[in-house]
């Protein structure tokens, strides 16, 4: 069997293993094996193939992997769904108390409850959405 084919098989096995581990290390080794397969196809002798694999693997694991992990593990910048409503302003449609009420958030009406159960928020006031509990907005007046 040709050496380039062996390196290609090694690259494929490492890439498949990376899919299950998600560590990025095996992916970098797979890339090194792929580069080495190319060098073997060109006709580099076996000792130089191992040297190419070692150099490329070292460079990718030490330098490329940390950059890739930083991008993958970066905290989510934008909030979606009901999480995006937290912190937004809302307009009180019907009186909001600790037991219930209605507010309008971005054009949609939501059931609402006052964050402080002793508060009574009259219609027409602007409130901040403190959290979303199920389909109920927990709100607090801006005043």
> Is there a contact between 141 and 129 (Cβ–Cβ < 8 Å)?
no
> Is there a contact between 81 and 106 (Cβ–Cβ < 8 Å)?
no
> Is there a contact between 106 and 88 (Cβ–Cβ < 8 Å)?
yes
pTM score of the predicted model: 0.54
Average pLDDT over residues 91-101: 94
Pairing type for strands 136-141 and 108-114 reads: parallel
DSSP annotation of 116 reads S
Over the stretch 49-94, which tens digit does the pLDDT of each residue have? 999 999 999 999 899 888 887 887 777 777 788 888 899 999 999 9
How far is residue 45's CA from residue 84's CA, in Å, rounded to a whole number?
58
């Amino acid at each position: 069997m040709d050496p380039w084919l062996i390196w290609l098989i090694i690259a494929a096995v490492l890439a498949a293993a990376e899919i299950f581990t998600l560590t990025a290390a095996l992916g970098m080794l797979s890339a090194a094996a792929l580069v080495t397969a190319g060098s073997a196809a060109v006709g580099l002798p076996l000792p130089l193939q191992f040297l190419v694999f070692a150099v490329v693997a070292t460079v990718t694991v030490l330098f490329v992997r940390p950059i890739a992990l930083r991008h993958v593990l970066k905290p989510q910048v934008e909030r979606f769904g009901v999480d995006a409503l937290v912190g937004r302003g809302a307009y009180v449609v019907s009186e909001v108390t600790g037991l219930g009420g209605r507010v309008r958030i971005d054009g949609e009406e939501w059931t609402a409850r006052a964050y402080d159960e002793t508060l009574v928020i009259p219609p027409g006031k602007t409130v901040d959405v403190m959290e979303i509990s199920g389909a109920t907005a927990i709100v607090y007046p801006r005043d």
